[in-house]
Structure 1
């Protein structure tokens, strides 16, 4: 990755997807699909290169180098007995989903064995697996370690020979956080205060705070979940709230109070919201902890959603803020309402882990704590202070799908900077690769991993294999962490902002293969720039298109070598992601325009235009039988080559080029046209005078003629036919978009909601008529090309919308002022306003043509 992170503040409401890859376009992926379904549990052992997969009634052992290689893969069947399935059916459970053995837990027990648990047709069982022989060696009861229902949220792990799990256990679905072994087992208190309320767990983590601790602190376990909301909030209509809970690893319960119960349990609320837009994401779906050099440097990424709306957000939290919340004031239940506790707090502080301060008071374990401390902890497990995300709002918002899983890997680029790479799974089987640059997330690509739409269940990252393993209902996919070969040019490779990739002078490759630092700036410019000429009548509008390939770059325009700094209606210009709109063109706006894409100080030319603003000509006479022909030189098209990259110094790329294409001379034939127009108007005026006298004479004679009535009827008939000829009504009819917006033989314009407005003739009377047919219409100019209307107004979707594939993303770090920046104002709204007040309709007699 080369160069500093580009600015984001002007990229509001910008789509972030760069590459969308369907299943058939995946590169370097391996697939595994056994006889089972519902692959939900993944255990990666990177050292020996093994991946253990827990599915429905089966466990698989795969080679991480290639999970598709079935020659070395092993399977272990673990199905519920027929009798157990019959008992499950007798309890009213679903024979298609619930009355099976779904493997929910799979972890390393010791050097020789694995430990696993499954629902076992609503009667949980656990087992030990001999790793060398890959066989079961012992089974035991699992109702205290595994949920009965395969759909209930669950998390668990084995640390230092101790198993911790959190879920809704037993038929009553009572949520609990438990230490299952060794003795003494611990669990939550089930007193009327209820520490947990219908909690749905999504993840857990251990942070070893005892390492190099100056106060002799204890390690802490964190559990993340969503539960029923009972506390007053500004959005009390929402019934759920996201939480993080904490317990101390050395907690062994109290001596008299809280025997075999957690004495260190505390919980606090995780906030992921955009208050300005009243968006409060209250359902936590997945978490991932990135450990730093110390606990306070560790960060948490969380995927949130809404209860009844298909929408997702990613928020980042600092564990320093988490610790601050647990050190803050408590909440207390008073008269069935939660209020902040303002009374005296006993010492040592309830809910804290044993430290050197406790040991100085001869409190060496939780069993030595006084009863008043334990009783206070029993009634005050909820903290008052809420945990806000870093920056106060989400780093990413997804508006059309639900995120289900997230995994994060830190990557160091060639300059030694560290970036967080985010891998986010969706409910439809897509994987989004994203990089966090500064305080923002940039989506690099989205990958369709499965043909059928299905939620992604689990993900693990292999440092050794440089791969991520993704599981869903139908199988497991091994995906490389990077696909640098997708970028075919240096421009795409560098500006994609993929920290895994860099340009080595010949191709885009992974930076781990680089032998030395490379200078790549001289490879950026393309060889040719498309050049066009635009002619526009004064007062009309013209759109100069300029598609930017990098979603992190910004467009810059120059006029006759000078950068256009002011944008807006007052300046006569409007810029957007697809080009520059000249509003009400005036003579001073004629000249040579050039569009550059600018990123990290590098200016790359993209398009070039020569714009001619012509005075409005006098109206042409309708008696000549055809419109006045314009000279062929009125419209011209050229292609201007850009100097080769090797001939342009790097310094010139880092600043706006001072010299651009020279202006073309004004049209020499225009003066002759002006004289021709004056002569033609004089001649036509004389003809009109003569014709008027003749018509008056004929009318006088017709009134005195016996056949006046007949002539009147004929005149009326001719007038009616003429009016019918003139009245060519049209109406706008909405049709669905199809075939990427292309419809044969139909004119159309684009509406704001993504549909097409088809221009069709209104109903015209088709009954037979005895009147003679009207005169043939006047010859019309040749039709415009289907892809572009006059003045360069595009008939297709903007380029950024064409890339979205049904998904759209928006950055939310901007202020309201930034989000309404004129540089990225909606072109649809602006064009609608301008087209309503246009006074002229310009048609190009000879549409532009271009080549590269």
Structure 2
């Protein structure tokens, strides 16, 4: 997904297609271009053991804007990564200048990767081969360089994010810009019988050209360190719990968001100790802190004023001793600690998958970092940290729980969320979700405040003042909110033994629902089941009747949402019901007796010959009708018609069959077409 705010479009890479969507309304498709694999490419991919229907397609994985306003796009192309150039001028156009995408784009559409376009040059971290066994971080340019194929450098990595930091601008030490890489990998430094994933941060220098003899066309500045969750010593298994911006393991029940200062990372790389492998016995390597002499210039450092003073103006001139040292020992002994020594957010539940951060200006003109966090269960959390206290303002379910949030992109006012099945657009400052003053203030959303003039939760702007808007971010104090008048009770009745459901949906996801019966709190039991949005009364008896209230409690503020007056059918009503049934039974008995007497009289008169048999008369009439029908012209003969129930011409059927209905028996069949078929029954046995 690529935001082109200069063109007011959202460029979206999909399977074998690229879309340009309106940035203000993504349901409006402005353009589309297809980029499909050929039958030959699909067959070759299938012959290599991949699924022809799913794997052997072209999944667009890389989208970047170039300096010339054109876009660089790469796709998996049936496990043959390929890149091309694309432009947009009302239509999307691929320039058909295809080039090899190995090392720029993953082979496997499900494989994690990351990339960054820096001054027209692509930096990427992915796999360089079909099997995914050669992970690399590389720069694609005339001076293309990459990492070593060594577990010391990258060991089963899971690439997360890449960022360009302009550290070289106006730097007094003459330092260079850095490219930072965030990833997780199987740790080589822990003594463990099982694989342990740890969070890492690595960096390279933008001007790195590789070595002359040692590390030819390889990074001479690649260094990595563990990104630690907190100052306290963690067990190895928990150190990969998902620090920002990393993804936790599927088996973890917890996720964390951590912030790291660039200055802290620089200090570890420029002044920290190195780790070194030490052979133990014959088949085991132990990593310990290196305590020997460190070459000069310092291994892993960029070309700066100190290196230039020693006569080294580029990495190709660095001595082999410095290069061999960083080739063998790219891992730092000291971990980079999270800012503040602890996570900003630590939460049990669905694993965090993506994060973006926006800056909001509150009513008092203070700025706050608002985090939008995607989860594996298809939801997005909106959170903010106030002086060490993390507040989750809301969690919005955007996709089905089985659809993971894969992409987050942030513009000035909107958030774009992508999964494997679709894209959703959200306003980041949507305050209309908070329906009452208490909910608005308790949410502690820096974008929102309760506007007393209009009586609604509104987005903070420059015209608002503390006299007209209530916003309490530090403590969520809603005491100044106008008093809420409780709503009228809803009257409900139930039958003995039934299950009764009383619904109540609190507005805030942080609020706790509290139910009361006649002013007394209700606790969960065999009779009462308290759900997130309702109260279930199982096998309700007369004791279940009474006045029920549902309130939400948040930060000691209680708001009543709804009330019910519940009662069982009264005893007098039940007695009246029995009396009615008794009268009905008596009437039925009288009707049955009279019917039997009438039937006996009819049989007696027929036996005595006082009444003719009805079928004889009907048969005669039927014969006359048939004779009359036979004398009609062919087009007037009575056939078996089909009457359309939807027709407005039913009076025609009434005219045509008025006589035949009196003389003939009709059978009616309703078909799936919604029509009624009328047909004659001539056999007396079908009566």
Q: Deviations over 1:781-836 (max 9, x none)?
A: x7365787xxxxx9x9x957xx9xxxxxxxxxxxxxxxxxxx9xxxxxxxxxxxxx
**2:24 maps to 1:75:** no
Alignment partner of 2:395 out of 446, 453, 462: 446
Q: Structure 1 residue 478: deviation in Å? A: 0.9
The 1:195–1:284 alpha-carbon spacing in structure 2 relative to 1, beyond 3 Å, is farther
Q: Structure 1 residue 274: deviation in Å? A: 9.5
In 1: Cα distance, 2:519 partner to 2:526 partner = 35
Give secondary structure in 1 for the equivalent of 2:64.
strand
Alignment partner of 1:207 out of 162, 165, 171: 165
Give secondary structure in 1 for the equivalent of 2:369.
strand
Q: Structure 1 residue 325: deviation in Å? A: 1.9
Give secondary structure in 1 for the equivalent of 2:537.
coil
**2:16 maps to 1:57:** yes
Alignment partner of 1:332 out of 256, 273, 276: 276
In 2: Cα distance, 1:188 partner to 1:276 partner = 30
Q: Structure 1 residue 201: deviation in Å? A: 0.3
Q: Contact 2:152–2:328 at 8 Å: present in 1 too?
A: no
Within-5 A mapping of 1:534-549: none
The 1:79–1:552 alpha-carbon spacing in structure 2 relative to 1, beyond 3 Å, is closer
Equivalence for 2:600: none
Alignment partner of 1:323 out of 242, 263, 266: 266
**2:4 maps to 1:45:** yes
The 1:509–1:347 alpha-carbon spacing in structure 2 relative to 1, beyond 3 Å, is same
The 1:254–1:497 alpha-carbon spacing in structure 2 relative to 1, beyond 3 Å, is same
In 2: Cα distance, 1:435 partner to 1:461 partner = 16
**2:579 maps to 1:783:** no
Give secondary structure in 1 for the equivalent of 2:43.
helix
Equivalence for 1:85: 42
Give secondary structure in 1 for the equivalent of 2:326.
helix
Q: Structure 1 residue 194: deviation in Å? A: 3.6
In 2: Cα distance, 1:636 partner to 1:163 partner = 66
Q: Structure 1 residue 87: deviation in Å? A: 1.1
Alignment partner of 2:59 out of 83, 91, 102: 102
In 2: Cα distance, 1:276 partner to 1:143 partner = 40
The 1:63–1:528 alpha-carbon spacing in structure 2 relative to 1, beyond 3 Å, is closer
Equivalence for 2:674: none
Report the TM-score, using the length of structure 1 for normalisation. Answer: 0.56
The 1:489–1:437 alpha-carbon spacing in structure 2 relative to 1, beyond 3 Å, is same
**2:387 maps to 1:387:** no
The 1:735–1:418 alpha-carbon spacing in structure 2 relative to 1, beyond 3 Å, is closer
In 2: Cα distance, 1:453 partner to 1:799 partner = 29
In 2: Cα distance, 1:368 partner to 1:155 partner = 30
Q: Contact 2:528–2:538 at 8 Å: present in 1 too?
A: no
Q: Structure 1 residue 167: deviation in Å? A: 0.9
Q: Structure 1 residue 383: deviation in Å? A: 0.3
Equivalence for 1:272: 229
Q: Structure 1 residue 493: deviation in Å? A: 2.1
Q: How many residues are aligned here?
A: 516
Alignment partner of 2:458 out of 509, 533, 537: 509
Q: Contact 2:528–2:535 at 8 Å: present in 1 too?
A: no
**2:139 maps to 1:179:** yes
In 2: Cα distance, 1:376 partner to 1:410 partner = 42
Unaligned ranges ≥5, structure 1: 1-41, 288-300, 531-546, 554-576, 580-606, 608-634, 638-731, 748-781, 789-793, 804-822, 824-852
**RCO comparison, higher one (Cα < 8 Å, 6+):** 1
Q: Structure 1 residue 498: deviation in Å? A: 0.7
Rg bigger for which structure? 2
Equivalence for 1:354: 303
In 2: Cα distance, 1:281 partner to 1:49 partner = 43
Equivalence for 1:155: 114
Q: Contact 1:168–1:199 at 8 Å: present in 2 too?
A: no
Q: Contact 2:241–2:252 at 8 Å: present in 1 too?
A: no
Q: Structure 1 residue 239: deviation in Å? A: 2.2
**2:322 maps to 1:373:** yes
Q: Contact 2:173–2:305 at 8 Å: present in 1 too?
A: yes
In 1: Cα distance, 2:154 partner to 2:394 partner = 39
**2:686 maps to 1:742:** no
Equivalence for 1:776: none
The 1:113–1:123 alpha-carbon spacing in structure 2 relative to 1, beyond 3 Å, is same
**2:199 maps to 1:242:** yes
In 2: Cα distance, 1:551 partner to 1:478 partner = 21
Q: Contact 1:284–1:302 at 8 Å: present in 2 too?
A: no
Report the TM-score, using the length of structure 2 for normalisation. Answer: 0.69
Equivalence for 2:373: 424
Give secondary structure in 1 for the equivalent of 2:259.
strand
